[in-house]
C-alpha cells in the first residue's frame, strides 16, 4: 500500500473497495495540522498545498484516500433525497 511521506500520524485506517486493492486512509484535519505545525504553513497555505499536492496526486490504484467529517446537518442534507431512508420527524 502506498503512503504519503511524513504523514503517518494522520493514518486512521484502511479503506476497502470492491474489486480494488485496499488503500491507506488519512484524516484530513490531522494532515492539515501536520502541515501547519511541521512545515510552518498557515491554515490557508496548508489547505491549498494539501488539495493540490496531496489529494491531487494520483499515484495509481494504490493512491491513499483522505476523509473529512461531516456535521450532523451536512449528513441530513446528504441523505435527505435518498428514497431508501425515511424522513426525520422532530
15-51: pLDDT as tens digits: 998 999 999 999 999 999 999 999 999 999 999 999 9
3-state secondary structure of 73: helix
56 or 80, which is more confident? 56
Average pLDDT over the chain reads: 91
Q: What is the pTM of this model?
A: 0.80
- For the chain, what's the residue count? 90
pLDDT greater than 70 at residue 87: no
85 or 6, which is more confident? 6
Tell me the average pLDDT across 78-83: 79
Strand spans (E) along 1-90: 11-17, 20-27, 65-67
Amino acid at each position: 500500500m502506498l503512503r504519503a511521506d511524513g504523514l503517518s500520524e494522520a493514518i486512521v485506517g484502511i479503506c476497502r473497495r470492491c474489486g480494488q486493492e485496499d488503500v491507506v486512509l488519512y484524516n484530513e484535519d490531522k494532515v492539515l495540522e501536520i502541515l501547519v505545525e511541521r512545515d510552518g504553513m498557515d491554515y490557508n497555505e496548508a489547505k491549498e498545498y494539501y488539495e493540490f499536492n496531496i489529494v491531487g496526486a494520483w499515484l495509481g490504484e494504490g493512491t491513499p484516500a483522505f476523509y473529512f467529517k461531516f456535521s450532523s446537518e451536512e449528513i441530513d442534507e446528504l441523505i435527505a433525497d435518498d428514497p431508501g431512508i425515511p424522513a426525520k420527524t422532530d
